[in-house]
Structure 1
Amino acid sequence: MSRFRCLDLPPSLVVDQVTPSDNTVQIEASLRDRSAVCPDCHIRTQRIHSLYRRTLSDLPWQGRRVTLRVSSFRLYCNTAGCRRRTFVIPLSDMTVPYGRHTMRLTDLHHYVAHALGGSAGERMAERLRCPVSADTLIRRLLSRMSGKPSARSPRVLGVDDWAWRRGHHYGTILVDLEKNDVVNLLPDRQADTLAAWLVQNPGIEIIARDRAGAYADACYRGAPSAVQVTDRWHLLRNLSDAFVAVVDRYARTATKISQKLCQSVSTDTGMRAQPSCLQKAQAPTRNASQAAQSRRETRFNEALALKAEGHGLQAIADMIGVERKTLRRWFRLGHAPTWKRTTTKPGILAPYTDYLDRRWHEGCHTAATLWRELVSQGFTGKYGIVWKWLTIRQATSPQQRSRRHAVPPLGRKLARLLLTDPGTLADQQTLFVRELLAAEPQLEKTTSWVRKMQNLLCRKSEDNLRLLLKAGRDTLLSRLVPALERDAAAIQASLVTSWTTSPVEGQISRLKMIKRTMFGRAGFELLRARVLPIS
């Protein structure tokens, strides 16, 4: 039977016949051993009662479905005191009792269900020529998960929450940071749930978490000997949010300083005589046109000299690099063309230019207002024509309008501006920051403290954390300092270790993707089965 080795069947089977067709392959096989042990009295017997056939689906072969028909035997039990009279020789190395699929096909279905879920897994299984329903895939995935032994406790654990429904229901994800594998999913983010899990899984040495109070309490209760590490990104985010809330109090001061600086800049600009925007825009075009005209005149003079020497029209065109028709047109004109329009067609706005000039001098500089006034006088053009005229007029006006209301940076923009390195700011921004901090000394003190905290958390300085938190009590963020002092040990650990919750955030992104591909149909147990790795 060496020709059937490619089928990779168990050695207990003997292949009798292989019948291929267009879409299927049917394999006839029988048992090599015709004796078995009684499941009740455990005494071997070989007395045959009858023939018993099992039909199993196996892994596909060459893109065809495989059906395995195994001829087994029902045997008599010869033991006088045994209650079982007959039994079937089990196929324990191929399938489970009452199973219709081989174990290796069941494993393939399990992997497909873990990767794709029910509906998508059903479509993939059909494509692989081992069809199975979506419900069967989910049932097999859950059955494997229910009998799965608990994983070994990790040495370094990452803890974070994930949203089952944002704002309503949250869970907890536990990740082995050394292997980047999900250890477990918890159905909520309560301290009691996490503490109970930590008690059941001893041996954890380091726990990386965010600043959530429930997780800190659970770690102290469930793993008191473990070193807790606070994620530095969450610390920076909490510090930034608190600083933005403080900066919002000074929005009025920032607006006044911004308007003051804008007015002073506008006054200085108006006193200096500068060329208009339109003149600046037209200057490169005018220079390019003059250079092109000079080149055409040079070529025309060369063509006249060659014609005087007796060269033909085509030869002259080849030597100076222009078309023959172009050269004939130049000779007909008697000079190089200037390509300038001698007459300009009046536009649709021409009859109303005097009225627009008068309204401009009266102080009306709004395109929508001018357009509506012209429409009432019979103007049939669109709004864009008036807007274009107004834009050109503003650019060519000797005294350009200054903005009455400056838009100051507020909220996060203002906070970012205050915390940015002064050496990288523009001159106007530097002047604005200097004026604002000079007007609000307490804000300047808070800004300086936040910069020091950011440098410390980003490992750009070696300041003492305890002294820095003590100095923060005199700033506008004094209400945040007590919470940071309670978590000072975990913050200090984050400065000297490399463990963060960044891998946990990556696993949360994967969890969200899996949850959304299930269309909200599945429950927590199925989501947990798909998120946990296959052992």
Structure 2
Amino acid sequence: MSTAVEACCPACGTVSRQRHGQYRRALNDVTVSGRRTVIDLVVRRFRCAQDGCRQRTFSEQIAGLTERFARRTPRLRQVLERLMLVAAGRPAARLTQALAFPVSANTLLRLLRRRPTPQRARAPRVLGVDDFALRKGHVYGTILLDMETGERVDVLPDRTAKTLTAWLRAHPGAEIVCRDRGGAYAEAVRTAAPNAVQVADRFHVWRNLCDAVEKCVVLHRDCLPVPADELTGGPAPKPASLSAPAEHVLEKRVSAEWDSVRASTRRQRHAEVHGLREKGVGISAIAEALGLDRKTVRRYAHAATPEDMVSDRAGQRSSRIDPFLPYLHDRWNAGCTDGARLFAEIRDRGYTGSQRTLRRHLQAVRASGKPAPTIKKQLSVRRATILLTSHPTHLDENAALRRKGLLGRCPELDTVAACVAAFATMMADLDGHRLPAWLDQAHATGLQPLRSLVNGIRQDLAAVTAGLTLHWNSGRVEGNVNRIKRIKRDGYGRASFDLLRHQILHAD
């Protein structure tokens, strides 16, 4: 029972000693030795002594133990809120049953929604902006961060320039804005905070450069096969039955006849998409007519030639049967065309794939009606890109030799490697003033992927220069985006935006 002789009116703050009555309150508290704890408390009601106060009577509140209209102690409420933030609604509700203070998932959601969110009148001096997927490929949100303290400032329901512009106008004060290469955020900052310095994250610029290098490798994929003399350390022996010109003609003919069904399908689809686009048909209509995804149709529409559709994924695509192709082709040319026998032979050699994969490969060989082509060892597009974009001192001896051989076979890729090295040095030393000279160097290569990158950087030159000069970057924002992914997984995608916003702002 409370023994206080006076209490403050919650409406006017007047101290009153006039007792009006008393009543009992039952408060749930945290468990003791695994048992549910209920505090049976007698509190008094007081009459407000202030004339004209709308609160005629009021109940006394005990600091740290009671709150108005609460059936739980503040300590238990904080525990429930923490469970909700960590485990989300339904898992947290199941956990409370095991902890001997059962609470429903809806009650946990209400507790979290009633928790006040931080309110700021002004934006932080250094503001970080980045987007995250609410529904990947369809709906995105925006997280705002104080880059100096790491505090989460706010979460916006979309990533449009209009929404961010409205927020910046309502919260002035940003002097530096760290962002990615997105145009919507750049437009919003130019509109609502024209005096703020925009900093394009240098990691994203580096990723753009790596993508451009990858496209350059695709354009020069004919240089990826490793010559036999590099594999054996000397010139490759040539068959006595064939002269050099005859061997060259045979190799070209076999490679032409060995064109995959995927390549022919790619050329056909490219022609169909461009034919419909010339007639004014939209992307969605083409996708429905051809039975393709809208993203695939858009890639075909943006590709000038079918060869431009070949990306790094073609170099990344591999099969368990690939290491056994030289042996299979040798056995095929020797007269063994029995699929079951060949499957048993390569299985004894360590093949772990299915016989169906082998049959699909042999079916293409059999359909060609020609000898199986010689399989040349070659770098994949992905591996070649890694060799070009890695620091030379970070490569082992074998990788360094492969890189040296690739650059020796392809002067164009040697030029690309020089551009990558120059950019990496500029980025590591934060020498943003050297960016215009580097742009001229990359443009002078004549390679279209690098020229496209140069054009994109020149459209955002001030922000990219600041990103390569100042020490600010979007690393803290990217870390919070990863945390948001974990929060979304905990909620199993059932949380609405307002609940997700509370979870993000109050997460540890």
TM-score of the pair, normalised by structure 1: 0.62
Aligned to 1:414: 384
Q: Any residues of structure 2 matched to 1:88-237 within 5 Å, and which? A: 89-91=59-61, 93=63, 94-145=65-116, 148-150=118-120, 153-237=123-207
Answer yes or no: is the 8 Å Cα contact 1:45–1:75 preserved in 2.
Answer: yes
For 1:160 and 1:68, how far apart are their aligned partners in 2?
47
Answer yes or no: is the 8 Å Cα contact 2:18–2:49 preserved in 1.
Answer: no
Aligned to 1:316: none
Q: Which has the higher contact order (CA 8 A, sep 6+)?
A: 2
Aligned to 2:497: 524
Matched, 1:66 2:37: yes
What SS class does the counterpart of residue 500 from structure 1 fall into?
coil
Aligned to 2:4: 32
Aligned to 2:429: 459
Answer yes or no: is the 8 Å Cα contact 1:417–1:433 preserved in 2.
Answer: no
Code of the residue aligned with 2:428 in structure 1: it is C
Instruction: Quote the RMSD (CA, aligned, Å).
Output: 4.1
Of the three residues 250, 259, 264, the one matched with 2:220 is 250
Shift of 1:214: 1.1
For 1:415 and 1:52, how far apart are their aligned partners in 2?
76
Of the three residues 228, 233, 238, the one matched with 2:208 is 238
Of the three residues 410, 419, 440, the one matched with 1:470 is 440
Q: Any residues of structure 2 matched to 1:368-383 within 5 Å, and which? A: 371=341, 383=344
Code of the residue aligned with 1:162 in structure 2: it is F
Matched, 1:508 2:481: yes
Shift of 1:418: 4.2
> Cα deviations across residues 33-65 of structure 1 (Å, max 9, x unaligned)?
2788696997946365x5422222234344433
For 1:38 and 1:429, how far apart are their aligned partners in 2?
76
The farther-off stretch of 119-128 and 239-248 is: 119-128
Percent same amino acid at aligned positions?
Answer: 33
For 2:169 and 2:494, how far apart are their aligned partners in 1?
33
What SS class does the counterpart of residue 451 from structure 2 fall into?
coil
Q: Which of structures 1 and 2 has the bigger CA Rg?
A: 1
Aligned to 1:56: 27
Answer yes or no: is the 8 Å Cα contact 1:207–1:229 preserved in 2.
Answer: yes
Aligned to 2:470: 497
Code of the residue aligned with 2:29 in structure 1: it is D
For 1:164 and 1:51, how far apart are their aligned partners in 2?
51
Unaligned runs of 5+ in 2: 241-329, 350-371
Code of the residue aligned with 2:429 in structure 1: it is R
What SS class does the counterpart of residue 163 from structure 1 fall into?
strand
TM-score of the pair, normalised by structure 2: 0.65
> Cα deviations across residues 107-161 of structure 1 (Å, max 9, x unaligned)?
3322332233222322343444433222111101111136x53376322222111
Shift of 1:188: 0.8
Code of the residue aligned with 1:510 in structure 2: it is R
> Cα deviations across residues 319-350 of structure 1 (Å, max 9, x unaligned)?
xxxxxxxxxxxxxxxxxxxxxxxxxxxxxxxx
Of the three residues 403, 410, 417, the one matched with 1:436 is 410
